[in-house]
């Protein structure tokens, strides 16, 4: 039996299908492709589809119409549908929602966003399927009990008829009256005993339910204690002071245990290693992975000035412990004397480089994927090995490393979400320009203050981590 979750990709451009297939197949999903709406509807009935990735702008039947056709079928009312579109207008989004889609992904497709949205909707579908199964079992049980009650009622009615006939006969046959009365009394005693037994059974059942309730409360208390301990552990893993006056950072964790982590590695020649990562999940599992990363860095970084080697070693350690989670990592070594910055990336957000006249992303040539998804052999086969890259930073510039909590904190509060990532970038880069000439410690605090002012509070949806290196 094939337990893989099946994803139907619908696009009239084969290259788009191949790209999405390349993103999702390594994660264990079975991919079914369709080149148009008609073929998609045929594949829908031929396969057990768990989720549809549907292009909007197709010739013939477009993505909106295909969505409507799918929702007209009762068995696919709750099937997750993600529209893949380059359309940015709010009206187009509304059309997709009214047609029945569950989510959107903008072109060009961001692989991390794609994986997150696909996993989220597949989890929701799994929960819905489980609820349907429970509902079906309950309905079957109710039907069965109803039939049993009907049968018992028929038996009871028949007994009443028989008892009435017996009593009528007893009136006619006086000599059998006493025997019949005694028999009736015995029947009543048996019925009374049954009632007593039923009451005892109900009482015992109530005791069982009370015990189960107490056990659940104990488990919840244990889970809360585990989360509190995970928060304490995570707080202990985060550096408290900067390794150099020219480096400053700001870290704000969300209320629940998050997956952001950063650290600094000191080398004897005054080089500084800067490590930043983000675990895909939250809770105790994320804290466990973070602690594993901290311990592993401590063991493998001494005297190792090769960032890509560090990432490869970390991946080999994490691959058997991350389950469904993965970890994005950026690790770089800064040489203050020469301003050289050697770095390697594993699916993490590219850092910003800020100079007096421009703001740009640090050039990332490799297409390496996050840690914990594929082992070294698989990475080599896919051409996604971790590599080193180098840049000489301009004197007077600033290098900013961050986790996606920073960009999400802006994106989730955009007044005009149809403008997308461009507007999000304008908000951040505008703040960078405003405070560029300030000392690095003040620069970081002002960026964080601007973020809180933009949102109206410091209640973030994810951890926020920012590290700034002042290149002097």
Domain boundaries, the chain: 6-129, 173-237, 239-470
Predicted local distance difference test score (pLDDT) of residue 447: 94
Q: How confident is the model at residue 21 (pLDDT cuts 50, 70, 90)?
A: very high
- How high is the mean pLDDT of the chain? 87
Share of the chain above pLDDT 70, in %: 92
Predicted local distance difference test score (pLDDT) of residue 304: 86
What is the pLDDT averaged over residues 401-420? 73
Under CATH, which number does the domain 6-129 receive?
A: 3.40.50.2300
Give yes or no for residue 416 having a pLDDT over 60: no
Taking domain 239-470, whether its CATH number is 3.60.40.10 is answered by yes
What is the pLDDT averaged over residues 325-340? 95
Per-residue pLDDT of 229-269, as tens digits, reads 766 776 777 898 999 999 999 998 866 666 899 999 999 88
Instruction: Identify the weakest region by mean pLDDT among 71-80, 154-163, 338-347.
Output: 154-163
Distance CA 90, CA 143 (A): 48
Predicted local distance difference test score (pLDDT) of residue 418: 47
What is the pLDDT averaged over residues 124-152? 85
337 φ, ψ (degrees, to nearest 5): -65, -40
The residue length of the chain stands at 472
- pTM here? 0.54
What dihedral do alpha carbons 435, 440, 444, 450 form, nearest 10°? -10
């Amino acid at each position: 039996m094939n337990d893989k979750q099946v994803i139907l990709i619908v696009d009239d451009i084969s290259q788009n299908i191949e790209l999405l297939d390349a993103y999702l197949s390594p994660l264990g999903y079975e991919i079914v492709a369709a080149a148009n709406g008609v073929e998609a509807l045929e594949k829908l009935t031929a396969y057990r589809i768990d989720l549809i990735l549907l292009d909007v702008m197709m010739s013939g039947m477009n993505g909106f119409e295909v969505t409507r056709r799918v929702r007209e079928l009762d068995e696919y009312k709750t099937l997750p549908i993600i529209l893949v579109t380059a359309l940015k207008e709010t009206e187009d989004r509304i059309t997709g929602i009214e047609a029945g889609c569950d989510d959107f992904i903008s072109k060009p497709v961001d692989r991390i966003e794609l994986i997150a949205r696909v996993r989220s909707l597949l989890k929701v579908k799994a929960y819905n399927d489980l609820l349907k199964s429970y509902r079906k079992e309950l309905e079957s049980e109710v039907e069965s009990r109803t039939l049993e009650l009907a049968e018992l009622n028929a038996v009871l009615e028949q007994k009443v008829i028989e008892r009435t006939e017996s009593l009528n006969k007893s009136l006619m046959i006086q000599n059998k009256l006493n025997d019949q009365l005694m028999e009736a009394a015995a029947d009543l005693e048996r019925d009374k005993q049954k009632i007593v037994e039923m009451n005892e059974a109900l009482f015992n059942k109530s005791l069982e339910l009370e015990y189960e309730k107490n056990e659940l409360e104990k488990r919840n208390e244990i889970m809360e204690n585990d989360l509190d301990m995970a928060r304490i552990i995570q707080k202990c893993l985060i550096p408290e002071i900067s390794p150099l006056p020219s480096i400053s950072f700001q870290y704000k964790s969300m209320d629940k245990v998050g997956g952001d982590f950063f650290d600094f590695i000191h080398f004897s020649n005054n080089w500084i290693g800067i490590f930043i990562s983000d675990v895909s999940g939250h809770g105790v599992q994320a804290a466990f992975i973070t602690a594993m990363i901290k311990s592993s860095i401590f063991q493998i970084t001494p005297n190792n000035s090769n960032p890509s080697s560090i990432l490869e070693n970390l991946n080999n350690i994490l691959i058997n412990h991350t389950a469904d989670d993965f970890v994005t990592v950026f690790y770089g070594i800064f040489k203050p004397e020469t301003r050289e910055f050697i770095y390697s990336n594993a699916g993490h957000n590219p850092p910003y480089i800020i100079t007096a006249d421009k703001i740009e992303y640090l050039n990332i040539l490799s297409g390496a994927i996050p840690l914990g998804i594929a082992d070294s052999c698989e990475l080599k086969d896919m051409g996604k090995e971790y590599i080193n890259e180098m840049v000489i930073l301009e004197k007077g510039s600033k290098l900013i490393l961050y986790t996606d909590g920073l960009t999400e904190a802006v994106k989730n509060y955009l007044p005009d979400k149809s403008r997308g990532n461009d507007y999000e970038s304008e908000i951040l880069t505008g703040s960078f320009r405003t405070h560029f000439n300030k000392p690095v410690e003040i620069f970081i605090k002002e960026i964080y203050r601007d973020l809180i002012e933009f949102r109206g509070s410091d209640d973030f949806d994810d951890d926020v981590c920012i590290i700034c290196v002042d290149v002097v």
